[in-house]
Amino acid sequence: MLYKTCLRISIVIVTLFLTAEGTFAQDADTLSRAEISSTTSQLLLNPRRSAHTFMHWQQEGHKRPELVIQTMQLADEQSDEQKLELAQKLKKVLDSRGLLIEYDEIPNDPNYTDSLSGLHQYILFSSLPEVYLVKDNNQWVFSKATIQSIPEIYSDTFSIFVDLVLDRIPESLHNEWLGIQIWQYIAIFTWILLGFIFRLLFEYIFKNYVQRITAKTKTGWDDRLLHEIEKPFSFLFMMGFYLLTYTNLQLSVNVNYYLSLALEIAVSGSFIWLIYNLVNVLSGYLSELTSKTESQLDDQLVPLIRKTLKVFVVILGVIFVLQNNGINVTSLLAGLGLGGLAFALAARDTLANFFGSITIFMDKPFQVGDLIKTSNAEGVVEEIGFRSTRLRTLYNSVISVPNSNLAVTEIDNLGLREYRRLKMVLNLTYNTTPQQMEAFVEGIKAIIRANEHIKQDNYEVHFNEYGAHSLDVLVYLFFDVPGWSEELQQRHNFLLEIYRLADEVGVEFAFPTQTLHIDSVFSDAPRKVGKERTEDELAGTVYAFGPDGELARPGGITLHKDGEEINLNSTK
C-alpha cells in the first residue's frame, strides 16, 4: 500500500516536472522571439548598427542567423534560408575583396541623408557602390537593388571553377594550419606560379612576334618604344592577373585588405614605370629632331626636358597612389607648407644650383660639346642638369660641377675659339751662322704657307732674342681646325716639318748647358777673341753698318734663288 502510494506520488511529481519544463521551454522560446522582435528596431536603428548586426552575428563564436537575416528584410520573396545564404555570400565577397568596415566612419544618425541623392541611404564602400543600406519603416536594411545584385557580385568575385573544385576536394584539405586551410596553401603557390608563367609567356610573344614586326620598319623609334615598354608591360600583366584573381584564395579580410592594397600599388607603380620609360622614347625622338638643327641650345634642352618630365611623372604618380589609398594629399601638402622654411633652409644649395642652371641656359656661357676651363676643372661639357654640369676630363673621367659654382666663377670657353693659337720659342745653338738663321726663319714661314690648316694672314716667325744659352726664334700662329683632336694632329704635323727643316738647314736645337773654357795661362799670352783690327778699321765698321753703309742690311738678310729674293712674310 505504501509502495503504491509512493509510486503515485512519484508519477505526479514527474508529470508536474515535465509539464513545467515544457512550459518553461515554451516561455523561453516565446521570450527569444520577443527579444528578437523588440531588439530588431535597436539593431537596425541607424547605418552603423545595421552594418554591425550584419557583420558581427556572422563571426565565428557569435553566429545568430535570426539576427543576420533581419538586414535582408526587403528580400520579400525569399525564405529565411535564402536570406541567410545571400547574407553569407555578401560577407564572403566583402572579406575576399579586403573591404574592412570601419564602424567609426559609418554615421549613427537614424535620419541620415545622402548628400548627393538626398535620400535616406548609405553606401558602405565607394569601390562597391552596388552595396548600400536604406531606411525602411524606421529600420536600416540592405536595399532591394543590393539584394538583387548579390549573385552577380559573387560571380564577379569568385571563379565558378574554384567553387567546383572546392566542392570536390577531400575534407582533409579543409583542415587549418596557422589559420589557413591546406587547400589555400596549394592555391597560393599555384597562383604565384601562374603569374610568373603568364609574364614569361607575354615576354616571349612580345619578343618573338611583336618586335619582329617593328624590326621590318624603316624607323627606329618604334623599336625603342617596344624596348622601353617591354618590362613595364610584362610586370603590369602579371600584377593585373594577381589583382583580378586574388579573391579566389578566400583568405581572411585582414590579409585580403593588405594584399589588395599591395597589388593596387604594384599596378599603379607599373603604370608609372611605363610612363617613366616613355619619357626616354620621347627624349630620343626629340634628340633626333634637334640633331638636324644648327643650334646647340635645343640639344642642351633635351636632357633637361627628359629629367623634368621624369620628376613630374614620379611626383604625380606618388600623389595618385596616395590619393587612391585614402590619404588626403591636400592636408599632406599643407603640412609640408608649415615646414617650408625649414625645407628652404635645408635645400638652399639645391635651389642655388637650380637657379644657377637657369642662369647658364639664359646667359649661355657654354653648351654641350664645348671644352671649358674653370679655376678647379677642365673638360668637355657632356650634360647640363638642374643641379650640376658634367665634364669629361682630358683623362676621360667625369667631373660634376655644381651649377651655383659655375654661375659665379670665371669660365674659359675653349670650345668657342675661332682659331687655336700656338706660341713657342725655338732655341738654336750659338754656332748658328746668320745665313742659317735666316734660312731657318724663312723655312718656317714656308711651312706655314704650305699648310692649309694654319691661318695665313696672322702669323709671326722671327729671330727674337739672345738667350742665356741659345739664339731664340719666336713662332706665333693660329690653327684653323674645329676641335682639340684636329689641333693636336696639325700641331704634330707642323712641329715635324720644323724638325725636318732644321736637319736640312744644318742648325741644332740648344738646351741649357754650361761650357767651361780653360784659357791659356796669362803668363804665356791671353786668349784672343775675334780679328785684330785697328781703331780706324773698327770705326769704319761702325759706319759700314750705319745709314747707306755697305754692310747695312736694315731689312734683314735675304736669301736668293735664281736671282729672286725669297720672302715668305705673312700678307697682313
- Mean per-residue pLDDT of the chain: 78
- What's the pLDDT score for residue 370? 80
Is the Cβ–Cβ distance between 475 and 444 less than 8 Å? yes
pLDDT, mean of residues 2-13: 39
User: Does 218 lie in the same domain as 151?
Assistant: no
User: Does 308 lie in the same domain as 186?
Assistant: yes
Quick: pLDDT tens for 481-518: 887 788 899 999 999 998 888 888 888 998 877 666 66
| CATH label of the domain that carries residue 376 | 2.30.30.60
Pick the closest to residue 493 from 461, 458, 451, 457 (CA basis): 451
Quick: pLDDT tens for 76-112: 788 888 888 888 888 888 888 888 888 888 888 888 8
C-alpha cell at 137: 519603416
Pick the closest to residue 455 from 409, 487, 426 (CA basis): 487
- What's the pLDDT score for residue 529? 56
3-state secondary structure 14-47: HHHHHHHHHHHHHHHHHHHHHHHHHHHHHHCCCH
In a domain, 84, yes or no: yes
In terms of phi and psi (left: phi > 0; alpha: psi -120 to 50; beta: otherwise), the region of 364 is left
User: Does 408 lie in the same domain as 429?
Assistant: no
In a domain, 162, yes or no: no
Q: How confident is the model at residue 345 (pLDDT cuts 50, 70, 90)?
A: low
Domain total in the chain: 5
pLDDT at 547 over 70: yes
User: Does 320 lie in the same domain as 199?
Assistant: yes
pLDDT, mean of residues 427-441: 90
- Listed range (305-309, 384-388, 527-531) with the worst mean pLDDT: 527-531
- What's the pLDDT score for residue 18? 34
Provide the domain limits for residue 438. 420-505
User: Does 323 lie in the same domain as 186?
Assistant: yes
pLDDT, mean of residues 153-174: 77
CA–CA–CA angle 490, 496, 498 (5° rounding): 110
pLDDT at 437 over 80: yes
User: Does 499 lie in the same domain as 373?
Assistant: no
In a domain, 359, yes or no: no
- What's the pLDDT score for residue 16? 33
In a domain, 166, yes or no: no
Residues contacting 337, CB < 8 A, separation 6+: none
- What's the pLDDT score for residue 425? 95
- What's the pLDDT score for residue 9? 38
Quick: pLDDT tens for 10-61: 433 333 333 333 333 333 333 355 555 556 677 888 888 888 888 888 887 8
pLDDT at 305 over 60: yes
28-37, 74-83, 313-322, 455-464: range with highest mean pLDDT: 455-464
Q: How confident is the model at residue 252 (pLDDT cuts 50, 70, 90)?
A: confident
Global pTM value: 0.54
- What's the pLDDT score for residue 13? 35
Quick: pLDDT tens for 184-224: 888 889 888 998 998 888 888 888 877 777 777 777 677 77
- Listed range (23-32, 296-305, 449-458) with the worst mean pLDDT: 23-32
User: Does 262 lie in the same domain as 190?
Assistant: yes
In a domain, 335, yes or no: no
- What's the pLDDT score for residue 67? 86
- What's the pLDDT score for residue 527? 60
Most distant CA pair in the chain, distance: 195
User: Does 312 lie in the same domain as 187?
Assistant: yes
Instruction: Report helix, strand or coil for 482.
Output: coil
User: Does 319 lie in the same domain as 219?
Assistant: yes
What percent of the chain has pLDDT above 70? 78
Q: Which residues pair with 460 in a beta bridge?
A: 476
92-96, 167-171, 344-348: range with highest mean pLDDT: 92-96
Query: Of 355, 378, 413, at which residue does a domain stop?
Result: 413
In a domain, 548, yes or no: yes
User: Does 281 lie in the same domain as 187?
Assistant: yes
- What's the pLDDT score for residue 4? 41
User: Does 260 lie in the same domain as 224?
Assistant: yes
Q: Which residues pair with 422 in a beta bridge?
A: 477
- What's the pLDDT score for residue 518? 64
User: Does 280 lie in the same domain as 387?
Assistant: no
In a domain, 516, yes or no: no
In a domain, 536, yes or no: no
| CATH label of the domain that carries residue 483 | 3.30.70.100
How would you classify the pairing of strands 420-428 and 471-479? Answer: antiparallel
